[in-house]
Chains A and B, each alone.
Chain A
Amino acid sequence: MEKTSAKHVFEPLAWLLQLITGILLAFLITIHFYVTHLESHEAISYAAVIERLSSPSYKIMYVLLLLFVSFHAFNGLRAILLDTNFGAKRRGFTNVVTMLLFLLAFFYGFYLLLII
């Protein structure tokens, strides 16, 4: 019987997470776009942004949006790079770099959410 290793689990898990985050992003980005652009022009003023960020429910929504979008974007980049000759020859390197970029984008946005 073939042994289950992290390498065998990573690809199907990444595919499943790409699918789940994709569905969640379709809803969260629609809400984000609606709140910031479609209700009123004042919604993107500095005062309105700070007021929204002082609400715990908005803050939680932004943390989730940030987590899902960062993963989806850099996991998508990983899939594209693995389809190229460059990425196919350097699978481990491509996986590590794209996942580090995902973490960098998430933690940078998270840091902004904490200090604003």
Chain B
Amino acid sequence: MAISGWFKVSGRSVFSLAFSFHRITGIILLIYLCMHLAYLTSLTDKTGQTYEGLIGVTVTPAFLAFDALLVLCGVYHGINGLRVIIHEFGLAYEYRKAILAISIVLILAVWLYASYVMYKLVVGG
């Protein structure tokens, strides 16, 4: 499938859509990994000022939406990846629809929980 095909929705099975989302979230997480390593370079300033300065900008209510979207990408990629691994071993293939449904419920539950805890940490309450 060409990359442009990842973004088509109509006429596709949920498994094909799950595959596209896996690749899209994977690329987002790859970009985040590079950004994360660049961010952590600030720790080389032994006074801690550069790192704390970045924390002051990124650990703020304005950044919460980005954090929540990033966590959604991570949770989706992780849980969907484990689902794919189960089937790669030829296991539970006859239950693939039910397992996909359970995975989606699990992804939403973990994402909402993690986002709620991050909200409490950043905004308080």
Contact = CB atoms under 8 A, between A and B. Distances in A.
A25 interface: yes
A37 interface: yes
Nearest to B117: A38
A46 B52 contact: yes
B33 A49 contact: no
Nearest to B124: A41
In this complex, the interface size class of chain A, counting residues with CB under 8 Å from chain B, is: 20 to 34
Contact of A109 (B2, B30, B37, B118): B37
A13 interface: no
B78 A105 contact: no
B81 A26 contact: yes
A73 B85 contact: no
B43 A37 contact: no
Contacts of B122: 41
Contact of B44 (A47, A83, A84, A115): A115
Nearest to B40: A112
A74 B33 CA distance: 10
Given A25-B78, A73-B30, A76-B30, 5 more contacts: A29-B78, A38-B117, A46-B43, A50-B48, A116-B44
Interface of B: 1-3, 23, 26-27, 29-30, 33-34, 37, 40-41, 43-44, 48, 51-52, 55, 59, 71, 74, 78, 81-82, 85, 88, 114, 117-118, 121-122
Interface of A: 19, 22-23, 25-26, 29-30, 33, 37-38, 40-41, 44-47, 49-50, 69-70, 73-74, 76-77, 80, 83-84, 105, 108-109, 112, 115-116
